[in-house]
Amino acid sequence: MRGSRYGFVGRRALSLVPLLAGILFLVMLLLSVTPGSAARMVAGPRAGQDEVDAVARQLGLDLPVWERYLHYVGDVLTGDLGTSFKTGQSVSEQIAAQLPVTVAVAAAGVLLALALAVPLAVLAARRPGGPVDQAVRVFGALALGLPGFWVAIMLIRLVALPTGWFPVAGWGADAAGHARALVLPAVVVALGIVPPMVRSLRAAMIELHDAEFVVAARALGYRGVDLLRLFQARNALPPLVTVTAAQAGYALFGTVVVEVAFGLPGMGQGLVTAAGTRDFPLVQGYTLVFAVLVVLLHLLSDLVTAATDPRVRISA
């Protein structure tokens, strides 16, 4: 099996088990890090001690940590993330309804960021230190410094309101509505991740510029677009995939602020609301799903890299 594609996938997926176990443990511990007891918080300040104890039993807080952990792992594996304290709704159902919005916002942001970052990085890498490179980097510093939520407010006020092209808030009713609702949020998410993407891609392109096989290709007469297409693009792919995955994880955060600012019914807004109302099971659920998304993202990036770069499969 050594070196085979399926073997690599299997080994890589297996290596995630301890990580996921650790994530579950951290998420479970959330209930314990809160100052004062979680049970007291749920029961309310005026509840008697009996009531608080009853809530603690209901939450399983009277059990030892390892037993609580086993229960929690069992529940999660069967798809049960508990019920919301406030609404009594199933946490997994609520998250399942919001997940597509968050994934759509993050994905739209990452795609837009790629569309901007790749050409900028290629242009900047042509002449490191030259005027184009410097301009790209000043633009990067500028974009990096803009607070996302503020840009969102400004876009609503200066673009959405006067033109009427995009909804001021909300997710729209049909696919076309969703698409229109995604445009401005995608811009805000992209703005935050383009600068680090350009920086990493630019470095990767410059490294390729001096690579032996590129020097050889240049000596053979390949120039410009041909050189880029035939020799550099293929080899720039692995760093591109890694950078994109890392920034997509960051984009997931970007969605929190963006969803709140644009009133989108996604997990980010859900997390903020749940945190504000101290709805523990919901917060736990969101944290877990966000973490699993990041883990899957990195797995996906490793798999794509392996599929395009045979060296990874052999050495893994």
Partner 1 sequence: MTAVAVSQSRARRDGSRTKITVGLSITGLYVLVALLAPWLRPADPLAQDVANALAPPSGGHWLGTDELGRDVLSRILTGASIDLPIALAVTLLPCLLGTALGVVAGYFGGWADAVVMRVSDLLQAFPMYILMIVLVFGLGPGTSSLLISFTAVGWVVYARLVRGEVARVRSAEYVAAAVTGGLRAPRIIALHVLPNTLRQTFVYLTSDLVFAVTALAAFSFLGFGVQQPTPEWGAMIAAAQPYLDAAPWLTVVPGLVIAVLAFGLALLGDGLQDGTGRR
Q: Which residues bind partner 1 (CB under 8 A)?
A: 19, 22-23, 26, 30, 33-35, 127-130, 134, 137-138, 140-142, 144-150, 153-154, 157, 195, 202-203, 206-207, 249-250, 252-253, 256-257, 260, 271-272, 275-276, 278, 283, 286-287, 290-291, 293-295
Supply the minimum distance, in Å, between the C-beta of residue 214 and partner 1.
Answer: 16
Sign of torsion over alpha carbons 285, 286, 292, 293: positive
Nearer to partner 1, 228 or 272 (CB): 272
Locate 198 and state its tokens: 């350009």
Task: Report the candidate in 275, 274, 285 with the shortest Cα–Cα distance to residue 79.
Answer: 285
Nearer to partner 1, 44 or 147 (CB): 147
Supply the minimum distance, in Å, between the C-beta of residue 147 and partner 1.
Answer: 5
Locate 165 and state its tokens: 């092209």
Single-letter amino acid code for the residue at 90? S
Which residue is listed with tokens 């030892």?
64
Nearer to partner 1, 68 or 202 (CB): 202
Supply the minimum distance, in Å, between the C-beta of residue 315 and partner 1.
Answer: 20
* Helix locations, the chain, DSSP H: 5-14, 16-33, 38-43, 49-59, 65-77, 91-126, 131-145, 148-155, 161-163, 175-209, 212-219, 224-227, 233-262, 267-276, 280-308, 310-315
Supply the minimum distance, in Å, between the C-beta of residue 199 and partner 1.
Answer: 8
Q: 170: how many CB neighbours lie within 10 A of its CB?
A: 12
Q: What whole-number distance in Å separates Cα of residue 177 and Cα of residue 181?
A: 6
Supply the minimum distance, in Å, between the C-beta of residue 174 and partner 1.
Answer: 28
Supply the minimum distance, in Å, between the C-beta of residue 295 and partner 1.
Answer: 6
Nearer to partner 1, 154 or 215 (CB): 154
Q: What whole-number distance in Å separates Cα of residue 303 and Cα of residue 293?
A: 15
Instruction: Say if CB 184 and CB 194 are below 8 A apart.
Output: no
Nearer to partner 1, 211 or 314 (CB): 211
Supply the minimum distance, in Å, between the C-beta of residue 18 and partner 1.
Answer: 8
Helix (H, G, I), strand (E, B) or coil at 83: strand
